[in-house]
Each structure stands twice: as structure tokens, then as C-alpha cells.
Amino acid sequence: MSFAGKIAIVTGAGRGIGKAIALDLAAAGCDIVFTNRTKALADQTQAAIEALGRKCLAVQAEASDPAAADGLVKAALERFERIDILVNNAGITKDTLLLRMTPEDWRSVMAVNLDGMFYMTRAVIRTMVRQRSGKIVNLSSVVGFTGNPGQVNYASSKAAIVGFSKSVARELGSRNITCNIVAPGFIATDMTGKLDEAQQKAILDQVPLGRMGTPEDVARAVRFLASEDAAYITGTVLHVNGGMY
């Protein structure tokens, strides 16, 4: 899978899965544009990408701001003149039971996880349509398929990503643009690190492979769908969950 000369945008790449995706694509030959809200984390990701010998543009941007998406694409084109890959990874959780969930808990998760993906995809496809080529990979989640108590907002946003992506795949296939979904299971990140031992055991009891995934497990799946090896795959969900679902 050669990515020499390719330009990839990865949202939410300051840490965890997003950072692993950005580094994996950079190691494969991509120059990287990425977003993150925290400058210190963005600086660390940028240094790691540049240490791989790749060019990098870090942009502090709020995923829920449509103007920020347009500005990011403009900055990417000014620096690199093209965009080959978009990975919509940015996401948040605000977990609580439905009876306690506030409208703000609902809206804020939807604004980042779903609206942010819409803004970024809409901003990028203008360029991809002109190029008549492009790869879009959107991050969903196993809970978008199974549901999860305390995550009505998060699970709903991740389920909606699937319908969005399948529709984009149908709209843009004639322009040689693919749109696919990676749905991680439980991955060892800061988010799952907050779970206590009993909660982690309950999760692992559902996973035939007997372990949580790593951010690198997800990154390799994203890289495949962003490569020419996946040229005839679009509108598809690739589950990375150790057999849990």
C-alpha cells in the first residue's frame, strides 16, 4: 500500500485513535493535515509525524463549527494543493442514563460526532469531485450497532454515521470517490481507561479474542480502506472489535 504523494486530513488526531491513524498514514507515505483542540497534544502529534519524514499541518479547530471545516480545507489546499483522504475521527462522549440526559448532553455529542463529520465531508468533497478521486473513512462504533446503556446520545450519533456514509458512497461513486466506515469495539484509550476493573472484565467477557483492541488495530483498518487495495469497496462497514459483534 503506497501512499507516496498523498495528502490526508485526520480530525481529532491529538491522541488515541486519531493520533494512531495520522501516524500510520504518515508512516505509509502520506503528508498529514490534522485537527485537535489542545495545542500541547497537537504539538506532540506534529512532532511525531515530522519525525517520520512527512510534512504536516496542524490546525486547531472546533469540529462543530462549519466555518472551521471550510477554513481547514482552504489551509490544506494552500499548503498541499490537493486532498486525497479524509478520516472523520473527532468525537466526544457525555454519558448518562436517558432519564438524566439533558438537551445539552444530546446536542453537544451530535454537534461534534455527526454535524462535524457532515461539515468536514461537505467541505472536502468539492475538491475530490474536481480531482475525480478521493477516499473518505468515517469512524463509527460498535455501540452504534448494539446500543449501550448510558450512551443513547453517543450510540445514536454513531449509528447515524453509517447511514450518512452509505448515502455519500452512492452519491459520489461515479466520481471515483469511496466512503466507508470503520466501527471500533472497545479500544484501549483514555476513554476506556476510565472504566474500573469490573467494567473492563464485563467488556472482555464479550470479546472472543479476549482483549481490548489498540488504536493501531483501528489505524490499520483505516489505512486499508484509504488505499487503492480497497478501490472497489464503498459504503461498507469494517468492524474492528475482536469478534464482539
Query: Is the per-residue pLDDT at 1 higher than 80?
Result: no
Looking from the CA of 215 toward its CB, the CA atoms found within 13 Å total 19
Say what the pTM is: 0.96
Q: Residue 33 in contact with residue 71, Cβ under 8 Å?
A: no
pLDDT in tens, 106-164: 999 999 999 999 999 999 999 999 999 999 999 999 999 999 999 999 999 999 999 99
Can you read off the three cell numbers belonging to residue 174?
Answer: 461515479
Percentages of the chain per state (helix, strand, coil), in multiples of 5: 50, 15, 35
Q: Which residues are catalytic?
A: 154
Model confidence at 62, pLDDT cuts 50, 70, 90, reads confident
Query: Alpha-carbon distance 16 to 55, whole Å?
Result: 21
Query: Alpha-carbon distance 104 to 102, whole Å?
Result: 5
Query: Is the per-residue pLDDT at 82 higher than 70?
Result: yes
CB atoms within 10 A of CB 177: 22
Provide the 8-state DSSP code for 132: T
pLDDT in tens, 191-233: 676 777 888 888 899 999 999 999 999 999 999 999 999 999 9
